[in-house]
Amino acid sequence: MPVFPSVEWFEALKNIVNSSPEFRHNGTIDTVVGVKAGGKIFELTFEAFECERVREATEDDLRDMDFWMEQDDETWKAMIENIKTHGKADLAFTLNTLDLSQAGEGLCRSHDGYRRDAFYRFNQSIQDFFDASAKIDTQFAAAVA
């Protein structure tokens, strides 16, 4: 049972979407995405119709990413539990809703406004990636639980 957040958890999602023909229905996705959760940073590289690479990253690596998603650990946990309960995020927990509803910078952040646009351009594919977590049993790290 993979632990969120961890490379293993994101690798589990990567394996699900890369073996799923449904992930291709939104078209190609070419972006480098960061995820900040549980005091860690993860880099997800998407190319064509797949998630090509998952790795743990550093704060300095964020400058090379198109954008990153950042929210408090309680919201990450609630989002993942919502996806598990409903099979996909309901309206209150989509990445787009979370981005719009958070005060300040929102969920999506970037050092470059043009590169941040990749969040909106590839939003449905990224949502599908996280929705794949409905297919795994997730444990939460102590920092998130």
At 103, the amino acid letter reads: A
Whether 1 shows a pLDDT value over 90: the answer reads no
- Residue pair 98/35 in contact (Cβ under 8 Å)? The answer is no
- Work out the percent of the chain whose per-residue pLDDT is above 70: 99
Find residue 42's DSSP bridge partners: 35, 56
Question: 82-98 pLDDT, tens per residue?
Answer: 999 999 999 999 999 99
- Residue pair 24/15 in contact (Cβ under 8 Å)? The answer is no
Q: ∠ CA 122-35-62 to the nearest 5 degrees?
A: 95
Which two tokens mark 43? 């880099």
Record the pTM: 0.95
pLDDT band of 135, cuts 50, 70, 90? very high
Find residue 33's DSSP bridge partners: 44, 67
HEC secondary structure over 67-99: EEEECCHHHHHHHHHHHHHHCCCCHHHCHHHHH
Whole-number mean pLDDT of the chain? 94
Backbone dihedral angles phi then psi of residue 140, each to the nearest 5 degrees: -115, 135
Mean pLDDT of 40-61: 97
Q: Which of 4-8, 24-28, 36-40, 71-75 has the lowest mean pLDDT?
A: 24-28
At 129, the amino acid letter reads: F
CATH 3.30.930.10: does it fit domain 3-135? no
pLDDT at position 145, please? 66
